[in-house]
Structure 1
Amino acid sequence: MKTALLFGSTGLVGGHVLNQLIQNNNYSKVKIFVRSSIQINNSKIEVIQTDFNNLEKHKEEIEGDECFFCIGTTKKNSPDKNEYQRIELDIPKKVARIAKSNNVKSYFFVSSGYANSKSSGDYLKYKGLVEEEILSLGFPQIGIMRPSFILGNRREFRLGEKIGIIIFKLLNPLFIGPLRKMRSIHSETIAKAMIKIANDNIDQKIFESDQISDLIK
């Protein structure tokens, strides 16, 4: 029986990861790291109220078998450039380093399609830099998920994403061959794929959007 560490349990993908971990009998404990205390009535769950400005304080708690990192933000929600960098770059790199130092065996990260450390845009650049950090740390098992446009029920209304859903529904059938990785993907699909990778010992580190979908067909 395994212990999972989950960062981003209240988010679009992370919420589905939490449900999958609760339902999966391979896990006896799920530690969720959250900014504010929340109530979850499940014997598997350990809620850890986390100071993300001082992750070293939680070093002894970031121990387990597998770490699932699903935290992310937007420029709209984090307009301050330094705060945006902290959430998208600094925190995931720090969590990965602590997890590795504690001999966590597996690390799973929700990145983005076309992530690239040399990108001119902050979002894709930060995702790429985190990917490079995770790969350099040498976890025995790594699952870097590169989804395209993510579908799902978000808590807040985002007009741009509503428009995006309509556009991708029209374009998805046109994305064939090498372009399949551009197809939109549901947040639950990503979560299910992460759990499958963790438990089937799949020997691959980076998964493009179409490969994520293929995993759970």
Structure 2
Amino acid sequence: MNRILLTGATGLVGSHLLRLLIDDSRIDEIIAPTRRALPEMRKVVNPVEADLTDLLGPLETSLDTVFCCLGTTRKQAGSKEAFVQVDYTLVVDSGLSGLRLGAKQMLVVSAHGANCHSPFFYNRVKGEMENALRHQGWPRLTLVRPSLLLGERQAKRGGENLLAPLFGLLPGNWRSVHAHDVAQCLYHQAFLPGGERVKVIESADIPRHSA
């Protein structure tokens, strides 16, 4: 039995990944805790609670893999503290819950520029999150660092909509990437045999790691 924990299932990348996992015959069950209810879907167990931490603690089902697609912006979160809660605390808690339940690998959406020593708050928090996951001692940890994400969000981010055309013209890791490609990358990497204990996939490399 292949049982998955997916946090961030209602987000831009997470919603694409959820559909890929549902359609995969190797997956028997997807536990997707969310703050707002998902439509009823086969294979999906959807605990709902305003605070995601309250849903992770009581989980008792054994797991094989954890996917974490949580992410927000400081503006969307409303404060630095709320941003840290989503992009650091809940991601780390997802990892701890997965390890407690026997998962052997974790795959995470981070961000281009993640660096715990960055002078930029967003990048610094992402880097601190990555370091915390590294110290959890996963047998396999995959960190995917996309640049600006393209795709239709339920909650619009005005700044990203304005920047998207510009980021599409930038070179290398700065070039924008479609959320579906990020989801496909996570999905593909999860089923590769062996591999490094910690694998970092930069934004420009996402397409070639997606198939």
* Greater CA drift, 207-216 or 3-12: 207-216
Amino acid at match of 2:81: N
1:67 counterpart = 2:66: yes
Task: Report if aligned partners of 1:55, 1:94 keep a CA contact under 8 Å in 2.
Answer: no
How far did residue 151 of structure 1 move? 0.7
Deviations 1:176-215 (A, max 9, x none): xxxx222211000000111110011362411001221112
Amino acid at match of 2:155: E
Structure 1 residues 149 and 198: alpha-carbon distance in aligned structure 2, compared to 1, 3 A threshold: same
Q: Which residue of 2 aligns with 1:154?
A: 153
Taking structure 2 as the reference length, the TM-score comes to: 0.91
How far did residue 55 of structure 1 move? 5.2
Local SS of the residue matching 1:203: coil
In the TM superposition, what are the counterparts of 1:71-86 in structure 2 within 5 Å?
A: 71-86=70-85
Gaps of 5+ in 2: none
Q: Which residue of 1 aligns with 2:163?
A: 164
Q: Larger C-alpha radius of gyration, 1 or 2?
A: 1
Q: Which residue of 2 aligns with 1:30?
A: 30
Structure 1 residues 148 and 98: alpha-carbon distance in aligned structure 2, compared to 1, 3 A threshold: same
Local SS of the residue matching 1:200: coil
Task: Report if aligned partners of 1:69, 1:108 keep a CA contact under 8 Å in 2.
Answer: yes
Q: 1:194 & 1:187 partners in 2: Cα distance?
A: 11
Q: Which residue of 2 aligns with 1:199?
A: 191
Deviations 1:110-164 (A, max 9, x none): 0001100111222111111111111122212211000011111112333321221
Local SS of the residue matching 1:109: strand
Q: Which residue of 1 aligns with 2:44?
A: 45
Gaps of 5+ in 1: none
Task: Report if aligned partners of 2:67, 2:106 keep a CA contact under 8 Å in 1.
Answer: yes
Task: Report if aligned partners of 1:68, 1:107 keep a CA contact under 8 Å in 2.
Answer: yes
Deviations 1:10-44 (A, max 9, x none): 100000010010111110111111113333232x1
Local SS of the residue matching 1:100: helix
Taking structure 1 as the reference length, the TM-score comes to: 0.88
Q: 1:57 & 1:192 partners in 2: Cα distance?
A: 28
1:100 counterpart = 2:113: no
Amino acid at match of 2:71: G
Local SS of the residue matching 1:207: strand
Q: 2:180 & 2:37 partners in 1: Cα distance?
A: 24
How far did residue 108 of structure 1 move? 0.8
Structure 1 residues 156 and 39: alpha-carbon distance in aligned structure 2, compared to 1, 3 A threshold: closer
Q: Which residue of 2 aligns with 1:91?
A: 90
Percent identity (aligned): 28
Amino acid at match of 1:40: E
Q: CA-atom RMSD, angstroms? A: 1.8
Local SS of the residue matching 2:133: helix
Q: Which residue of 1 aligns with 2:203?
A: 209
Deviations 1:65-108 (A, max 9, x none): 11111111112221222222111111111221222222211101
